[in-house]
Amino acid sequence: MNATIRQAIFARLKEQNPHPTTELEYTTPFELLIAVLLSAQATDVSVNKATRKLYPVANTPETIYALGVDGLIPYIQTIGLFRTKAKNVIETCRILIAEHSSQVPRTREALEALPGVGRKTANVVLNTAFGEATIAVDTHIFRVSNRTGIAPGKNVDIVEEKLLKAVPAEYRMDAHHWLILHGRYTCLARTPKCWNCMIADLCEFKQKTPLPKGA
């Protein structure tokens, strides 16, 4: 895919959604960090349901740490892997209190040193909370990048590296959100909605595009 086509793709995505953001609900960088930790192998909808109950009770490192693992579990037990996540969240809170004055660190190295925080989670926090032009490659972005031809790659690291080079600079800050939302609602894994896709004519994915229902 050449640069002109990529430019056109992101121009359309921006036109449709000029100010994209995460669908996780948060009000502080710490709330975002915890929500992203909880979202691994879970939907944003399920995480939001849990944090709507948790955050009014505890939404700082100190208050969540005070709950302990057993006290946190009832709030998040509807989310997959909740026991492991509870341990990671409590330990993360301990480290933030002890080593970062209860603040979410703004460096990748410090973020990835937190339990359960990998490169993807760190990228989400750096981009969404701190305004850095990072791209967190999840399953949606990996699929869209490969299927469309924007940035094909065999693994998430390769796709991230290619996206950072391929996405035009003026769109890099919001590219993460546009690609996730496109993968979540249009470029679905099994049955992509090519017939309702604003970039279908620019996409390298070849299939027999089904007609809309009733057509």
Catalytic residue among 44, 53, 85, 138: 138
Q: How many alpha carbons lie under 13 Å from residue 82 in its C-beta half-sphere? A: 16
Handedness of CA 155, 157, 160, 166 (dihedral sign): negative
Domain-wise residue ranges, the chain:
3-19+135-202, 29-129
pTM reported for the whole predicted model: 0.87
DSSP state of 211: P
Q: Which CATH number fits domain 29-129: 1.10.340.30, 1.10.10.10, 3.40.50.2020, 1.20.1300.10?
A: 1.10.340.30
Q: 5's torsion region: left (phi>0), alpha (psi -120 to 50) or beta?
A: alpha
pLDDT tens for the chain, residues 1 to 215? 888 999 999 999 999 999 999 999 999 999 999 999 999 889 999 999 999 999 999 999 999 999 999 999 999 999 989 999 999 999 999 999 999 999 999 999 999 999 999 999 999 999 999 999 999 999 999 999 999 999 999 999 999 999 999 999 999 999 999 999 999 999 999 999 999 999 999 999 965 444 344 43
Domains 3-19+135-202 and 29-129 share a fold: no
Is residue 87 within 8 Å of residue 45, measured between CB atoms?
no
Phi, psi of 166 (to 5 degrees): -85, -35
Residues sharing a CB contact under 8 Å with residue 25, sequence separation 6 or more, in sequence order: 35, 48, 51, 52
CATH code linked to domain 3-19+135-202: 1.10.1670.10
- Examine the residue annotation and report whether 213 is marked as an active-site residue of this protein: no
Catalytic residue among 85, 120, 157, 208: 120
- Examine the residue annotation and report whether 120 is marked as an active-site residue of this protein: yes
- Indicate the residue type of 180: I
As given in the structure block, the two tokens for residue 169 are: 């600079």
